[in-house]
Amino acid sequence: MCEVTSHSDPSGYADPGRPDFCARCGGPLRVEPRGGRDRPICPVCGWVYYARNALGAAVAVEGSEGILLVQRAHDPFQGQWMLPAGYVEYGEFAEECAVREAREETGYDVELTGLWGLYFGTDDPRNVSHLAVYGARIVGGEPSAGDDAIALAFFPRDGLPDQLAFQGHRRALADWQREPSRPAAPPVGDPKRL
């Protein structure tokens, strides 16, 4: 056993949320093997910290002029471009998040056409994460950059911006360049209505 001294996960990636103290009783944590990995564990109350990948959701809106991107208003990667996207809130499902983020960042109301893919990325300093990318079409609203975005624009396949934020977004856009209008799994719908 040893005291917790690092905010690196055993995977080798940074984990800024890795705790030094117990979230339940406040006591200092120790690192012990549990379930195949070394994890921060509270020797007093038994609480175990399980690091988790974050989940983001994005929309891929294809128009006649290309694909819709937004320019980031804040760090990390301020000023770089990305698909309209954000982190899925606790208790929110990814499709709901994708529609919400599109509205907040672009002003457009969108309808999802299907799941493009799930892209892992490790270059967000806040979290390693998966990004669920959904095909989407505009069904209303007016273009208006908001929330985390300072600008929005459509970009053609051969003219994407040089600076694209986040590995997951770059991988999704590379797939789009190779295969625009690629087949997608249909949306599953709102689980709260089933």
| Sites of contact with Zn ion (CB under 5 A) | 22, 24-25, 27, 42, 44-45, 47
Q: Using the minimum distance from each CB to Zn ion, give the nearer residue, 21 or 120.
A: 21
**Distance, CA of 138 to chain centre:** 21
CB of 46 to Zn ion, least distance (A): 7
- Nearer of residues 47 and 77 to Zn ion, judged by Cβ: 47
CB of 18 to Zn ion, least distance (A): 15
Lookup result for tokens 């600076």: 163
Burial of 162 from C-beta contacts in 10 A (0-12 / 13-18 / 19+): exposed
The residue among 136, 115, 128 whose CA lies nearest residue 168 is: 128
Residue closer to Zn ion, measured from CB, 51 or 138: 51
Structure token pair of residue 43 = 């020797």
- Least gap, CB of 91 to Zn ion (angstroms): 25
